[in-house]
Structure 1
Amino acid sequence: MKISRQAIISVLLIFFAIFLGHTTETGFSIGDKMLLGFGISPWSNGQTGFHYPIIIYYVLFIIGCLEARRVMSSRQLIVLLIFLLTITPSVVSLVKPVYFRMQSGLATVEYDSRNSHFNIRSSLDNNKLEIIGAIPLTNYGNDPVEFGIKIPSDSFIAHEWFSGDLILTSVESLEDPGTFILYPGQRQTILSYTTIPLKNDNNGTGTMNGPDLILFSNNENRKVGHNL
């Protein structure tokens, strides 16, 4: 293979395409974060519709492969693609903590919505709803972060259960709702147990997987979740 400017550019295009399009197991996408940094939603319709980083991925990937094909054999291109597809997830995993450390306050906390789960059930006396949740969070910052957690009433089926934002309570401090703390570098699956009065005599059961959440402190509110 001739090592030319064209070969280098094609490799960089393919790498950058995969880099932008890759999403980690926690839902982190550098392509999403870059667009959000420019004030552009990664999705054409709020959190749904066309995913712009994937469109950019395909465009750059195809251009890169076409350019690479001019200076590489099919076998060389396949080996290159396997190599880049193998190393790029590791590169994104290295970039992710750097990205979060560049933020401040609640923005240093990553919410793993893909592994977040809530069970909703009526209490034994059928007077209340019990909301039991597991919320994986990681603090990539250099300072402890103290915050509260809310489930917005518009999250998935949440509006069927409660009309306003629900402030979650830690199972470790049932008398002090809305107080959680993560230390620098700490990854923790926070367990919450919250009860509310029944709404409209709805005493059934349900689940919420990966709902959007609101992290809040005295001077900051941050919505987190899939595609955010």
Structure 2
Amino acid sequence: MPRPRGIALAILAVALLDAAPLAAQHYQCRLPRSINLPQVQADGPPRVLPITGYTLALSWSPEFCKPRKRRPAHARQCGGRAGFFGLVVHGLWPESGRSWPQWCPASRDPLPREAAANMCLTPSAALLARQWAKHGACMTKRPATYFKVTRILWQGLRIPDLDRVSREKGLTAGTIRTRFIDANPDWPREAVGVHLNARGWLEELRLCYDRGFMPTACDRRQYGARDGAEAKIWRGL
């Protein structure tokens, strides 16, 4: 499958987003000197499809960590010793119309230092390895490029203070969407996905991009909760 030209344009495209200094979402996090990347097993069939856009999925770490604080597998993200995390990068996913590419053949596995550069964005070596294997290999030949593009997109965002948003009365998915747009005025409302769990707690923001890495409307799957849905945000501290 030919690699999309959008990857080569990512640095230029994101630089045009009028980015500001990033609000801290990984409090006191320090990059580790080294990490161990596990082997990843595919959980589905490979799908080599043309790429029509991308989704940057940002998980709300306090909600993720609520049942996992004492689990060794999640010690870096949830144990507190590496810092406390707010929004973290779940992954950068290629899209293809109503489906998505996955588990494409990879020229090689990431080097530990390539993945370690993203450990304050995605504080899990296992998740970084999986995101490359399942999604990144469908986007580019080089793992370093995938991780670098993810950092560039993250650094092009202004992150709203979701701790403060959580205290707003009558909180809804629409409130969360609005607060993100307040911080990022160039983003259209339809490009900001808000995902709540079955009990109404915020799990994830999903930000939708076109092939040139500019904001574009999400499909129904990525858009998530409608504006009127009642929402809650777990602060975790």
Shared fold (TM-score, shorter chain, > 0.5): no
TM-score per shorter chain, which class? under 0.3
Q: Which has the larger radius of gyration?
A: 1
Of Structure 1 and Structure 2, the greater strand share is in: 1
Higher relative contact order (CA 8 A, sep 6+): 2
TM-score (norm 2): 0.25
Give the TM-score of the pair, scaled to structure 1: 0.25
